[in-house]
Amino acid sequence: MRRRMLAAALACTLLAGCGPVRTEPVEQETPQAGAPVIAYVPLDDRPDNAERVVYLAESLGYELAMPERDLYRTRLDGQPPNENGTQYGDRGALYEWVAKQEAAGCDRYILSLDQLLSGGLVSSRAMTGENPVTLSSGETLVEAELLTAVIDLLAADENNRIWLLDTVMRLAATTGYGGFGLNEYNALRTYGMAPRPHLEGTDLTIGNIVADYPLGADGTPVPVEAEEPLPEGAVENYLASRERKLRLSDAMFQALEETADGQFRVLIGIDDSSEEDSIQKNEIAYLRAQLRQGDALLSGVDDLAFKAVTKLCLEEYGWEGAAVSVQYFGGTEDQPACAYDYQPLEAIVAEHFD
């Protein structure tokens, strides 16, 4: 027990990006016989979202059940496609995998909605509109229906404890995916960083947020500055991807309204951001207003599962918190740690400790 608590405490120090990070291969422990199982659908197949989560879970005495890697793998341009013939995860197969875990009696889940609804983080930044999912039965569901199906399936067992992981779309899509290059990335990230109108109160609605996407703080259209001409429709597709992501996040909160208190927890990560009043700021404010008791919206995406596993463990062991003292060196804690954060370092660390 002491060993597991120390491991969880160490994990806490890693969640805000501090602490050592191992890059050499880590010897994986064999799960204990009868260890509690967590069914985990990762954000994608990168080590931060796959191997590292396995190591953490097993160090805390859990067994992490995961789908076959091909079902959640991201393929960049020029790489061979997955077995489903796409560059992104197999959403229908992943839903059916979750249903199989539930039928087998699993009662702990950590599920990436970007993977389940979009096939991974990278594709969630590129998809627009509705992208129907066909199940093995032949039934076809649009993403919002698939989301509701997952929540209804797991809500039926009151013993289930589910963490839903979501993200605020970053300021630009991914270079090397779907033909998206460095010119597009630089131009759209600069475009996304430009201040937008500030919405609050009853004006903070999805309709108003989407309507203000193209507008600067002064209400005039934000210019697009690119070294080379952008492909036709690049800006429109970028804004449509943002709208899709935001509406799916909102659909999640609506679907959770009928679930039991404490059964579902939502953890939203803010991807690649900016201290400016960027295109993300109204999205962040809207989603923060939807959070329920126990939910959180924090800076960082690739450690979402780390946070969920650690929180799950600490709650199950009855940890009630401890006093924390933070000391900064260098005098720059009142500034963002890098150009991709939206708050000063001390504010982000305080949120993570909370």
What is the domain range of residue 307? 2-353
Residue 340 DSSP symbol: T
**Separation CA 301–CA 278 (nearest Å):** 18
**Separation CA 80–CA 292 (nearest Å):** 41
Is residue 118 within 8 Å of 157, Cβ to Cβ?
no
Residue with tokens 């609605």: 205
Query: Other CB atoms closer than 10 Å to residue 178's CB: what's the count?
Result: 17
Residue with tokens 């199906």: 149
Q: What is the pLDDT of residues 106-148, one digit of tens each?
A: 999 999 999 999 999 999 999 999 999 999 999 999 999 999 9
Q: Which regions in the chain score pLDDT beneath 50?
A: 14, 16-29
Is residue 110 within 8 Å of 40, Cβ to Cβ?
yes
**Separation CA 78–CA 73 (nearest Å):** 14
Predicted pLDDT at 324: 84
**Separation CA 336–CA 348 (nearest Å):** 9
Is residue 61 within 8 Å of 35, Cβ to Cβ?
yes
**Separation CA 192–CA 186 (nearest Å):** 10
**Separation CA 26–CA 142 (nearest Å):** 40
**Separation CA 171–CA 167 (nearest Å):** 12
Counting the structural domains of the chain, the total is 1
Instruction: Tell me the two tokens of residue 82.
Output: 């997955």
- What residues have CB less than 8 Å from 181, skipping those under 6 apart? 175
Residue with tokens 């983080």: 121
Predicted pLDDT at 20: 40
H-state helical runs in 194-233: 206-212
**Separation CA 260–CA 24 (nearest Å):** 42
3-state secondary structure of 338: coil
